[in-house]
Every structure is written in C-alpha cells, then in structure tokens.
Copies of this chain bind each other. A is one copy, B any other.
Amino acid sequence: MGQSDTRTRIQGAATVLFRRNGYSATGLKRIAAEADAPFGSIYHFFPGGKQQLAETTIRTSGAEYGRMVLALLDSVPDPVESLVHAFEAAADDLAAADYADACPIGTVALEVASSNEVLRVATAEVFEEWVGTATRWFGRWVAEPKTAHSLAYSMIMMLEGAFMLSRAARDPKPLRVAGRSMAELLRAATTQRS
C-alpha cells in the first residue's frame, strides 16, 4: 500500500494545484511538498514528468467530475428543477471553497490550448466525454437528438463560463444565473411556442 499511496497523494496534490493555479504556475517541487512525497517519486511514478502527471490528472479528475455532475443532475426528478439545483450546488461549493476549486480542467484547458498538443487533446477528450454524457441525460426529456446535443454543449459551456465569472468576482451569482438560463433553455425546448 505504501507505494501506490505515494502515487495517489502525488496525483491528488497535482489535481488540486492544477485546478487552482493552472499548469504553468504549478511547480513539481510544490506538488511533492504538498503530497509529503520525495521529489524523485514524481519521476518514479510519472516518468514522463510534468506533462504525464498533468495528462493523468486531467483524464482522471475529468472523468470523476463528469460522474459527480451526472449524479447531481440525477438527484432531482424534475429536469428543469434539477438544472437549477445543480448550479446552485456548484455555487455553494465554490463559495465554500473560497472560490478556488471550480472545474478541475478548465484553467489548464485554456492555458495549453495553443502550446501543448498532448494536454490539449486530453482536455478536448474530457469535454467530449462530458458532452456525450450530458446529451444522453437531456435525451431523456427532449425528443430531437440534435436538441439534446445542443443543450448538453450549452450546459457545459455555461458552467465553464460561470465558473470563470464567479471566481473572478468572488461571487456565486453568475453560477446561479447560469442555472436559471439553462432551466429556461430546457423549458423552451420542451414547450410549444406560439
């Protein structure tokens, strides 16, 4: 256990730091210190260095976060209420975390988009996975697959944008507004309009 435990602590510390401060601003020495692990252990478990560690955290925390959001959406029966509730929960969590822990991959995604192909592809695949999951969720209430797909994209984009504005302003309001807008979008998609 001692061995894989070190690896777990390293990956956990990396996930937290990349999420809060991004890829470039996070040093491997800092990760080792936060993980209470010797510096060399990073290269033992992640021979590919910083990039491999980041790719691992992106894919792992990305999948985890997707499951968490889906579970949150499934915890309320009515889909419109569920959207409002999920964004409210995200707002509360973000405020409780002092506006530090939002999307685990958002900051890194923007940072590496034009500078690191390996990490860019990793973030793109995580987003794609989220869109697929969300499309299936919306598909339970929306007839047109294309509409479900658009709603899924919109939900993730609205969430990412809301995280950005809420963190910058240190204010949960953007996330709450985003939730109500997504509810409105779903209502519009399921309601006949004159």
Question: Which A residues are within 8 Å of any B CB, using their own CB?
Answer: 20-25, 98-100, 106-107, 109-111, 113-115, 120, 123-124, 127-128, 150-151, 153-154, 156-165, 167-170, 174, 177-178, 180-181, 184-185, 187-189, 191-194
Contacts and interface: CB of A to CB of B under 8 A. Distances in A.
Contact of A25 (B115, B120, B154, B174): B115
A13 B39 CA distance: 36
Contacts of A111: 21-22, 24-25, 107, 111
Given A25-B24, A150-B181, A157 B168 contact: no
Contacts of A170: 120, 124
Residue of A150, A161, A170, A193 most packed against chain B (CB within 10 A): A161
Given A184-B185, A185-B181, A109 B157 contact: no
A1 B163 CA distance: 42
Contacts of A151: 181
Given A150-B177, A174-B157, A188-B187, A168 B127 contact: yes
A149 to B, nearest CB: 8
